[in-house]
Homo-oligomer: A and B are copies of this chain.
Amino acid sequence: MSEPVRVGVVGMGTVGSGVVRLLVESADHIERHAGRPIVVAKAVVKDVAKARSVDVPGGHLSADYHDVSRDPSISVAALLVGGLEPARTIMIDLLEHGKDVVTANKALLAEHGPELFELARRKGRSIAFEAAVAGGIPIVAAIGECLAANRIESIRGILNGTSNFILTRMEEDGADYADVLKLAQEKGFAEADPSMDVDGTDATQKLAILAHLAFGVWVPWGEIPRMGIEGIDLGLLRYAAELGYRIRLVAVASRSDGRLAMRVAPALVKQGTPLAETRGAYNAVSIVGDAVGRMFFHGLGAGQMPTASAVVADIIDTVVGRTAITFKTTGVLSADSPAARIAGVDMLERHFLRIRVKDRPGVLARITGILGEHGISIASVIQHDASQAGDATVPLVIMTHPCGSNAIRKAVDHIDAADVVSGRSVCLSVLDE
């Protein structure tokens, strides 16, 4: 039998505890896939005295990550600390000390990826990060390896389980955003501070990583247009349903006229299509490749064991040597990854508009006139009777034919400046397939 591989687990929160549990409870199964035993040599925690749901074998706990980085018998480290610091400092220390690193920290990669990958390359080490995007769905391997023969044409993903849980519950229960968010926090689907989830930051960071794998360019996540779900109210969900759609927070990266267009925003997705039927805390990714056509992946995008499943798969890949090969040949996040300018790249799509108009004659003509001036033609209009006599404004809902994102943005600015309009209009893309 081959010598056991000694792994250090840095961070014993939800995911870290899941990884230790899987390595212990499925040890024989994992050994069969790795060709040798994988043992937890050390787990790094904040407080070694705290009671834990998972026992670390032999009680090898430490509050100091140097006990992993400076232990020459440990070859692989799983970095399962969230946020940027001290995660970045710890990753640098692990790489400097010759560890191959596996991580689930998408924020760290999206923010400091090029620097960290460069360091890993210089040290002859690898960084594996399947768990950083879409949890248990093997989307990093799918894009980086399995679809390697394809030129990817587009990626669409539901990449944030918290916001998908909120949108699904609002839609199915008719409950308000605030109430559902509270429920999600109680159920453990949303963090105490859910702002990175609901404002689209988390999905945007994941999209930056996926787009890099698919298109070979590096787009700093802060440059990707982003809109969260905070502005999605029940009225919007009801209008969408009336038109045969659901609303999902969709991350999009696609080639358009040889340029790359990207964004994260709520969009109307047609009922019955796979993204529309992705519910609750599930994630989904739809990819179009020039050879393979449309591929669709669906699975749990977060949670303890699905994420641990991806981390341990990466540990196995690292132990057997597949990660080192992939890391070397594909040049992931290498210094010569070209940067892409995505600002202003047009996406031709149908759009959904909700405009709050004053209930007076000539308003519809005025709004449709502005759209016409911007070359935007209208597919359908919904205007219901004002729900209560005396309502100062009524919602006007318009579905457009396909039009450029730049044109619709200008038209909406123009509409919102009109005296018959009150407040800011909502403009969402419509995905029909």
A binding-site residues for B, Cβ under 8 Å = 18, 22, 26, 29-30, 32-35, 130, 136-138, 141-142, 145-151, 216, 272, 274, 277, 289-300, 303, 305-306, 308-310, 312-313, 316-317, 320-322, 325-326, 328-331
Contact = CB atoms under 8 A, between A and B. Distances in A.
Given A272-B277, A300-B293, A309 B150 contact: yes
Contacts of A294: 299-300
A150 to B, nearest CB: 6
A145 B289 CA distance: 22
Given A34-B329, A293-B299, A322-B325, A138 B142 contact: yes
B329 A33 contact: yes
B293 A306 contact: yes
Contact of A292 (B30, B35, B309, B317): B309
A316 B22 CA distance: 31
Nearest to A289: B309
A248 to B, nearest CB: 16
A291 B277 contact: no
A145 to B, nearest CB: 7
18 contacts: A22-B149, A22-B291, A30-B148, A33-B149, A35-B329, A145-B313, A145-B316, A149-B309, A149-B313, A289-B309, A291-B309, A292-B299, A292-B300, A292-B305, A293-B303, A293-B305, A293-B306, A295-B297
Nearest to A331: B32
Given A149-B308, A328-B35, A298 B274 contact: yes
Given A22-B291, A292-B305, 9 more contacts: A26-B149, A30-B149, A33-B148, A138-B147, A141-B146, A145-B322, A274-B274, A292-B300, A293-B300
B298 A151 contact: no
B272 A26 contact: no
A183 to B, nearest CB: 21
Nearest to A286: B298
A305 B277 CA distance: 28
B293 A296 contact: no
Contacts of A293: 136, 299-300, 303, 305-306
A290 B309 CA distance: 9
A404 B295 CA distance: 35
B313 A322 contact: no
A296 B298 contact: yes
Given A292-B300, A320-B325, A326-B322, A145 B149 contact: no
A14 to B, nearest CB: 13
Contacts of A300: 292-294
A317 B145 contact: yes
Contacts of A30: 148-149
Which of A137, A274, A292, A293 lies at the interface centre, i.e. has the most chain B CB atoms within 10 A of its CB?
A292
A137 B149 CA distance: 13
Nearest to A272: B277
A223 to B, nearest CB: 24
A279 to B, nearest CB: 11
Contacts of A292: 136, 299-300, 305-306, 309-310
Contacts of A146: 130, 138, 141, 310, 313
Which of A22, A136, A291, A297 lies at the interface centre, i.e. has the most chain B CB atoms within 10 A of its CB?
A291
A296 B295 contact: no
Contacts of A296: 296-299
Nearest to A139: B146
Contact of A297 (B147, B297, B305): B297
Contacts of A29: 149, 151
A145 B313 CA distance: 7
Task: List 8 tightest A-B contacts by C-beta distance, closest first.
Answer: A138-B146, A149-B312, A35-B329, A136-B292, A291-B309, A33-B148, A292-B309, A296-B298
B151 A26 contact: yes
Contacts of A331: 32
Contacts of A330: 32-33, 35
A145 B141 contact: yes
